[in-house]
Structure 1
Amino acid sequence: MHTLLPFLLAMIAAIVLLNMWAVKLKIAYPILLVVAGLLISFIPGLPVVKIDPDLIFFLFLPPLLFEAAWSISFKEMKKWWRIIGSFAFLVVFFTALSVALVSNHFIPGFTIALGFLLGGIVSPPDAVSTGAITKFVKIPRSTSAILEGESLLNDASSLIIFRFALVAVGTGQFIWQEATLNFLWMVGGGAGIGLLLAWLFVQAHKRLPTDAPSDIALTLIEPYFMYWIAEQLHSSGVLAVVSGGLFMSAKRLIFLNSTSRIKGYSVWESFVFILNGIVFLIIGLQLPEIVAGLRSEGIPLSTAIGYGLLVTGVLIAARMISAYAALIATLIFRPIATPHASSKRRRWLMPLLLGWTGMRGVVSLAAALAIPVSLSGQAFPHRDLILFITFVVILLTLLVQGLTLPYLIQRTHFFDDIFSEKKEELARKSIKHGLKQHVYKTLKNKYDNELNGHAVMEKFLKHWEERTDASDDSWMNEKTKSIFIELLESQRKYLSELNKDPAIDEELIRHQLYQIDLEEERLKIM
């Protein structure tokens, strides 16, 4: 423990420094972390980082998925649910099937079951990598919503494939009828369990006399409860966390006060950043041990690299084919649901972009490490080869696709006429103008008598969004403070109603709600 603790602290320090360097270089920090982990692993004398395969999912996935569900725009998910659903389920299955067939044909000793196991591991693109890479370029909200929504659901579908394939490898048989029933229970039961627990957690937050620290502490343990209970009932813990997180995200204004929301945002941002950083470093640190396992199996390193290149090519090709198939199907059956493009050429280039965003990362590593070391008293077949192929896939997709994606978007000017800073600024001004009108009407209708002869209130009526600190704090008595806080709550309701408009970007609404929370906190300390 005394040896491992300094190493873990050094890992966190390295994550912070590498992230700062990545921001300066304008590249995604997962790329630097993986490469750094690989380089660090060759330093002699470092302790070997080993994680119990039974705990890898439970330690990392629940909070990462929970935070992603809170961050995504559910409104955009509903808008693009057909594309998101096809990528999250059909594309994942098609990708896993492609990997299974190719690996069964080209890799000696690989059965179809092992191929599906590998396919389930490497099929889901990583949301963290995609988000970290696309933050340096501007893409439309519809595209980012599709990528974020897909990443939430494809984790569940790929892990379901992984679980069934693991059973098939262990038993040597696959019963379709039983698998179908199990699949329905895992999907429906997982979502239902997550929603039920989320409702109970919301009630607990509302009814218990919690403060900001206790609210934040509860949100940190809630995804673990959702995941664990669903898994104990042999359902999908991933879907439970995703569905529960989406439900609680939609209710955040009801059961969390402004203090809990502001402080919780900072805590969760730091917590998830550290978790992601540790996982990506572990990806690099695991390589020497995996290579040693390959040598024990008698597989040459060059041969294993060739298998990794083959599987990576299959993944990219399968995603490209799926992206174009999804566009064609949408144009035929639901042309109105096709993402906007300024020309036919750009519409047909859109799947190329979606296909090139398939970077792999946290979930693939977690699934690969979760493969049991032994099966029925014997070593799990080709475990080290599967781990090595997964590592090659993660490394190649991060380096090749991750480094070229921003360059591809910038060089092709693909979104220049779709994304407009001027358009976004006009939308922001429109929301602020609507808020001003809403505040003015509320003040005139409810507090007309208090306004007369009160200079500060009159000034607030005219310039509420631009007011400055007064030299004399005596004007802020309990009456005016209660009015101001009531106005802020009224603004939240106004923005919540405004968010129902499909044309309004939810990110702008959330930004304005965050500003209102900050304003309320400023009033509380006066």
Structure 2
Amino acid sequence: MHPLEIFELVIAMLLAIIGLHYIAHRLGLPPAVALLTGGSALAFLPGLPVIALDPELVLVLFLPPLLMDGAWFLSLAHLRQHIAGIVSLAVGAVVFTTAVVAVVAHLILPELPWAACAVIGAIVSPPDAVSARAVLQRVKLPSRVSTLLEGESLFNDATGLVLFRFAVAAAVSGMFSIGEALGSFAVLALGGALVGVAIGALWVLVIRRLGDDYLMIAASTLTCWTAYIAAETLHVSGIIATVVTGLICGWYQHVLFSANVRLRGTAFWQVMIFLLEASVFLLIGSSLRGVIQRVGGFEVVIQQMAVPVLAIVAAMMVARFGWVFLSDAALALLGRLGLTRRRPLGARAGMVLGWAGMRGVMTLAIALTLPQNVPGRDFMLVAAFAVILVTVLVQGTTLGMLIRWLGLGASDEEAPRKTVAEAEAAMAAAQLRAVERNAYDADGTLIHPQLLDRYQARARISANYVGREDHYHEGLHAHFDLVLVAIAAGRAELIRLHRAREIDDDVLHDLERDLDLEELSALSAKA
């Protein structure tokens, strides 16, 4: 394709993303479902070129920022608290699913060697960070379940990639060593973590010295690709390096970023992540045509592959449920023996955790890297695509309903020591102490009376609010509704003055920014 045609195709794809997101919003569907089905439908429109994804480019383009985004906002306290459960899912569940799928594949297709069956298992075993994010953004879960799903999705790709590489090597050469695989995984994980720490520390040093808002935002945006590429260049895990870097950046951004950088950077980052995340699902759907053509058409898929593929999908789902409930039973047993204080998840949380194993870009990307001489390659490609379709379209659309049916919403079982109201009262008290120390001059004369009155009133109101949130709820909403009405009136007058040429553009932009910040503050307080 001509470069101009490629650019036009990218613009058309971005416009399609907006349209499909709008349709999903109107129909109440998860956006990932609309994008995946829309991309699949667009792939077969006459005149459109076949989308051939370069798997290495897909991984390096999309995976680092999406992993960084998940790690940036992941609570380190929750990560430490639930690290055993995350490792169990990110490593144990992936290995167990690979083994179960390999056994089922060999029973259904005995002509495939065991190594090739293991390749199938490694392809479909790791749940996807992008798919998990797309679903978790739309549901409310207890913090323990949410942290387990988010943490698993960030780290399990590394396990899946190691299993895949060794399984492919065994399928091609006929040789496999468990000791070598374990050693390789340890080197990749530890090396990736060290690279992540180094890049994170470098980011902290750079951000402290840049001193320019736009440079800080640009440097932070590029950090995810820097960590991933640096780790892959050193032949260690780029996934773990990116996640560790994201955890460090997320921890230090609260003290390194000014309010201006945080507002601007977050707005830019959220739009970029939205476009990248949506593009992933649209590209996955668009690649369906190429996969179908590669294996010989729909007839071949339906007649020869449908039953084995459905068996693979079922085995993958059963394996995840099996691991979740077996792990929970083991945790309960250890608790009765007095070897752990962690409580089991329980049946309801286990059901949600088992049903939330959506697959996505990682499954398709590693499937597309399969060498031509791997036995059963065409079947593996179809199985990978089927797993993505079923998990996103079926599990992704029903997860919210399952959570509501089970009554498993966000709970207070792991609530922090202070509520929002208590934290606000503590901040107001600290602000008042700072104002009181500086409200008087050296002679003891009050020089900031209005400021002192304002912060005294704020501290008093915040203290009275604690424990009486319901009592003040209606009045606070009415208060901030009136603030928003006043802001809207000021904005209308500002526009009138500009249109009447009584103020110039600089004045318009300066005052408009003040109104925008005031409106954001009011909306945040109301929420």
| C-alpha separation in 1, matches of 2:114 and 2:267 | 45
User: Higher mean Cα deviation, 398-407 or 27-36?
Assistant: 398-407
| C-alpha separation in 2, matches of 1:366 and 1:451 | 70
| C-alpha separation in 2, matches of 1:445 and 1:186 | 53
Note closer, same or farther for the CA distance 1:47–1:104 as it changes in structure 2 (3 Å cut). same
State the Cα distance separating 1:337 from its structure 2 match: 1.6
What is the Cα-based RMSD across aligned positions, in Å? Answer: 2.9
**Structure 1 match to 2:504:** none
**Structure 2 match to 1:482:** none
| C-alpha separation in 2, matches of 1:121 and 1:137 | 27
State the Cα deviation string for residues 114-157 of structure 1 (Å, max 9, x = none).
Answer: 22222222112223333333444322222211111111111221
State the Cα distance separating 1:254 from its structure 2 match: 3.4
Is 1:405–2:399 an aligned residue pair?
A: yes
State the Cα distance separating 1:339 from its structure 2 match: 5.8
| C-alpha separation in 2, matches of 1:411 and 1:41 | 36
**Structure 2 match to 1:225:** 226
**Structure 1 match to 2:280:** 279
State the Cα distance separating 1:272 from its structure 2 match: 1.5
State the Cα deviation string for residues 254-309 of structure 1 (Å, max 9, x = none).
Answer: 33332222212112111121112111111111112211221289954333222221
CA contact (8 A) 1:66 1:245 kept: yes
State the Cα distance separating 1:380 from its structure 2 match: 4.2
State the Cα deviation string for residues 428-469 of structure 1 (Å, max 9, x = none).
Answer: 212211211222223234545488252331233124589999
| C-alpha separation in 1, matches of 2:62 and 2:162 | 17
Matches within 5 A, 1:195-344: 195-207=197-209, 209-295=210-296, 299-334=300-335, 336-338=341-343
Is 1:8–2:2 an aligned residue pair?
A: no
State the Cα distance separating 1:390 from its structure 2 match: 0.9
CA contact (8 A) 1:230 1:236 kept: yes
Note closer, same or farther for the CA distance 1:90–1:448 as it changes in structure 2 (3 Å cut). farther
**Structure 1 match to 2:505:** none
Helix, strand or coil at the partner of 2:358: coil
**Structure 1 match to 2:185:** 183
When normalised by structure 2's length, the TM-score is 0.80
Unaligned runs of 5+ in 1: 341-346, 471-514, 520-526
CA contact (8 A) 2:40 2:286 kept: yes
CA contact (8 A) 1:193 1:226 kept: yes
Matched positions, count: 459
Note closer, same or farther for the CA distance 1:270–1:369 as it changes in structure 2 (3 Å cut). farther
User: Higher mean Cα deviation, 118-127 or 75-84?
Assistant: 118-127
**Structure 1 match to 2:408:** 414
State the Cα distance separating 1:49 from its structure 2 match: 1.7
Note closer, same or farther for the CA distance 1:463–1:111 as it changes in structure 2 (3 Å cut). farther
State the Cα distance separating 1:366 from its structure 2 match: 2.1
State the Cα deviation string for residues 440-499 of structure 1 (Å, max 9, x = none).
Answer: 2232345454882523312331245899999xxxxxxxxxxxxxxxxxxxxxxxxxxxxx
4+ runs of 1 displaced by more than 6 Å? 465-470
CA contact (8 A) 2:159 2:185 kept: no
| C-alpha separation in 2, matches of 1:24 and 1:459 | 48
CA contact (8 A) 1:56 1:369 kept: no
CA contact (8 A) 1:305 1:389 kept: no
Note closer, same or farther for the CA distance 1:463–1:20 as it changes in structure 2 (3 Å cut). farther
CA contact (8 A) 2:439 2:448 kept: no
Helix, strand or coil at the partner of 1:231: helix
- Which residue among 434, 438, 442 is the counterpart of 2:426? 434
State the Cα deviation string for residues 328-350 of structure 1 (Å, max 9, x = none).
Answer: 1222224532267xxxxxx2222
CA contact (8 A) 2:171 2:374 kept: no
| C-alpha separation in 2, matches of 1:197 and 1:244 | 6
Say which one has the larger Rg.
Answer: 2
| C-alpha separation in 1, matches of 2:140 and 2:412 | 7
State the Cα distance separating 1:414 from its structure 2 match: 3.1
**Structure 2 match to 1:120:** 122
User: Higher mean Cα deviation, 50-59 or 150-159?
Assistant: 50-59
- Which residue among 426, 438, 454 is the counterpart of 2:448? 454
When normalised by structure 1's length, the TM-score is 0.80
State the Cα deviation string for residues 333-386 of structure 1 (Å, max 9, x = none).
Answer: 24532267xxxxxx22221111011111122122222334x3xxxx44333321
User: Higher mean Cα deviation, 329-338 or 284-293?
Assistant: 329-338
Aligned residues with identical type, % of pairs:
31
CA contact (8 A) 2:66 2:129 kept: no
Matches within 5 A, 1:13-92: 13-92=15-94
